[in-house]
Structure 1
Amino acid sequence: MRRTAEDAEKTRLALLEAALMSFEEKGWRGATFEHIAERAGVTRGALNHHFRSKTELLSAALEWGWSSYGNRLFTADTADTVVDPAGWLTSLLVEYTTLLQDDPLFRALASTTVLVAPQVSGTSPDKTAALDGWRTRIADALAAVESIRPTPALSAETSAGMVLTFLQGLTVTAVTRPHDLPQPDDLGTAMSALVRGLLTM
Structure 2
Amino acid sequence: MNDSKQWRVSIKHPRLLVFYCLCLSFLTACNQDSASNHDTSPSVDLGPDLTVDIGESVHLSPTIKNLDTNTISYLWIQTSGNPISLPDNNSSYIAFTPLVNDLLEFEVTVTDNQEQEYKDAVSVTVLPENGQYTAQLNWTAPTENENGSTLTNLAGYKIYYGQSITNLDVSIVVNNPLETSYDIKNLDSDNSYFFCISAYSATGSESKCSDTVSIL
TM-score, L = length of structure 1: 0.28
Name which one, 1 or 2, has greater alpha-carbon Rg: 2
Query: Which structure shows the higher helix fraction?
Result: 1
